[in-house]
Amino acid sequence: MTSQIFSPGVEHVLDLSGIFVFALSGSLLAVRKNFDVFGMAVLAEATALGGGVLRDELIGAIPPAAFTDIGYFMTPLVATLVVFFMHPEVARINRTVQTLDALGLGLFCVTGTAKAHDYGLGVVASIALGMITAAGGGVIRDLLAMETPSLLRWDRSLYAVPALVGAGLTAALIAAGALDAVTGSAAALMAFGLRMLAIKYDWRAPRAWHRGSSSEGEQ
């Protein structure tokens, strides 16, 4: 088992922290979309747990961890209450929420890749599943709220690349037999740092070549 990168207690606290901040982003979007408190809770749960549930369904870890650990399920409800009572305050610290979201991204691309590898998947598939763990919840959040997934949009700063780097580093560490708490944290921090730089400098990925000249008018 390499998926237990950190000691069980530490990993659980990290997981719950990541889930909490992902849930904040879900319930904040629900407020913006004028959903009621149950809509906020559904969006918080789906955002926070969706990526991990997708991963677990795909690798055959059934029932998904989100349904066997009560802490995973209750955390998004706490985040919903926080946003319910204090959403102007939470929205005002948007920069802080983005930073925490980047930490969640870094953490989940590492642990997701490691868990997929534990279940016997190959290098490329494990990287893909690490990215799904980190970014899948946000895609589900946007779809439920009828928004174009920000993961796909050109006018949003890079999200997939930091996840890819974190997942790729983790896969390389596993291949080298060198994944432990220190190196795993380094991979997560690398993904986190890249994401923070992408936000700060509004880094974007390129669109298809000739886009500007030949097909801008299609939109």
Q: Which of 11, 12, 37, 197 binds a copy of itself (CB under 8 A)?
A: 37
Q: Which of 93, 143, 178, 181 binds a copy of itself (CB under 8 A)?
A: 143
Contact partners, residue 17, CB within 8 Å, separation at least 6: 100, 103, 104, 107
Closest to a copy of itself by CB, 48 vs 183, is: 48
Query: What is the identity of the amino acid at 186?
Result: A
CB 179 within 8 A of CB 114: yes
Closest to a copy of itself by CB, 170 vs 183, is: 170
Contact partners, residue 200, CB within 8 Å, separation at least 6: none
CB 24 within 8 A of CB 84: no
Applying CB under 8 A, does 153 fall inside the site for a copy of itself? Answer: yes
φ and ψ at residue 61, rounded to 5 degrees: -90, 80
CB 136 within 8 A of CB 66: no
Q: Which of 16, 78, 97, 145 binds a copy of itself (CB under 8 A)?
A: 145
Applying CB under 8 A, does 16 fall inside the site for a copy of itself? Answer: no
Applying CB under 8 A, does 202 fall inside the site for a copy of itself? Answer: no
The residue count of the chain comes to: 219
* Interface residue list for a copy of itself (CB under 8 A): 30-40, 42-43, 53, 57-60, 62-64, 67-68, 70, 73-74, 83-88, 91, 119-122, 124-125, 128-129, 139, 143-149, 151-155, 158, 160-161, 204-211, 214-215, 218-219
